[in-house]
Structure 1
Amino acid sequence: MAVEAVDVRWATTDDAESLAVVLCEMATHYRQAPLDHDRATATAMQWLHDESPAYPHFAMAFSDGAVVGLTSVAIAHPGIDLERLMFLKDLFVRGSARNKGVGRALIGFLANHCVSKGIGRIDLTTEDWNEGAQRFYGRLGAERHGQKVFLRLSGKALRAAAKS
């Protein structure tokens, strides 16, 4: 496994096109309907425009000037012992860049951010079918945490909750 030189940084509005490229590839990987690239670019621009400088949500990885991966995160208050926590919503490495150190570089970037900002942990989920992701996180020392059940409010249920 060759480790590439990877540059990881917080995304800015200048990265909207690169973010859209990865979002489109990610949708296919996660068995979603293909995304319209122009719509993905416009949405990425809006998301990046709305980001708070205090809590950036996308970290992006580049190798030789090309985008190779991303993470989407949120910072939550309070965490255990009054330490904030980072929730890793997505970590995605493009197919051509897998097993080359990109995922480790992204996690290292996030972990360094957490340590420097007093954020006590990174919580994440992965699909039960995504054995590659589970092996990757296991190699990093992530432990299965069986105390929580993942639930979702969306669609009709979300609209009904909004009316209550």
Structure 2
Amino acid sequence: MAVDVRWATTEDAEALATVLCEMAAHYRQSPLDHGRATAAARRWLGDESPAYPHFALAFAGREVAGFASVAIAHPGIDLERLMFLKDLFVRDSARNKGVGQALVSFLAGHCLDKGIGRIDLTTEDWNEGALRFYARLGAERHGQKIFLRLSKPALARIARA
């Protein structure tokens, strides 16, 4: 299957919304309203800086097949920027057809072109398919970090402090 990957633009809001809705269902989250997801995607894509695109979309033919959501972080102790891969999702109909590989290859090429030194990512410890996929790509497990989250209640409490 030929897969085309590119950075999403505001014209891709509906395609991004389609994948976001399917991802929510896949992970057994509350169903997303497609219209609301499209409006959110349009807003996000309109807000993005061209220097730091956040959504890569994969297409197989005319159909959206998957996406990657990323953020670029500025230097840490090594003075190199890094890309954080927040989400990588391939639609059920496009699984095991090279879409995930195409998305990560696209991101890796972007990193090399822009002098970004690495891609960091997380996945659930129970997601064996994702763990195998990333291992095949050469991802190394790092036990040095612990994943933490400040959710909305914590944000509200901290903001009032």
Normalised by the length of structure 2, the TM-score is 0.98
Q: Percent identity between the aligned chains?
A: 78
**Deviation >2 Å, runs of 4+:** none
1:77 aligned residue: 74
1:91 has 2:66 as partner: no
1:111 aligned residue: 108
Unpaired segments ≥5 residues, structure 2 = none
Unpaired segments ≥5 residues, structure 1 = none
CA deviations on 1:31-67 (whole Å, 9 max, x unpaired) are 2111011100100000000010000000000011110
User: CA–CA distance in 1 between the matches of 2:83 and 2:159?
Assistant: 26
Report the CA distance shift for 1:132/1:19 in structure 2 as closer, same or farther (over 3 A).
Answer: same
Amino acid at match of 1:58: F
- The Cα shift of 1:80 comes to 4.6
Amino acid at match of 1:35: L
| SS in structure 1 of the partner of residue 150 of structure 2 | coil
- The Cα shift of 1:163 comes to 1.4
Amino acid at match of 2:57: M
CA RMSD of aligned residues (A): 0.8
| SS in structure 2 of the partner of residue 54 of structure 1 | coil
User: CA–CA distance in 2 between the matches of 1:153 and 1:71?
Assistant: 23
User: CA–CA distance in 2 between the matches of 1:80 and 1:65?
Assistant: 43
Alignment of 1:134-145 (within 5 A): 134-145=131-142
| SS in structure 2 of the partner of residue 99 of structure 1 | coil
Deviates more, 1:73-82 or 1:99-108: 73-82
1:30 aligned residue: 27
| SS in structure 2 of the partner of residue 111 of structure 1 | helix
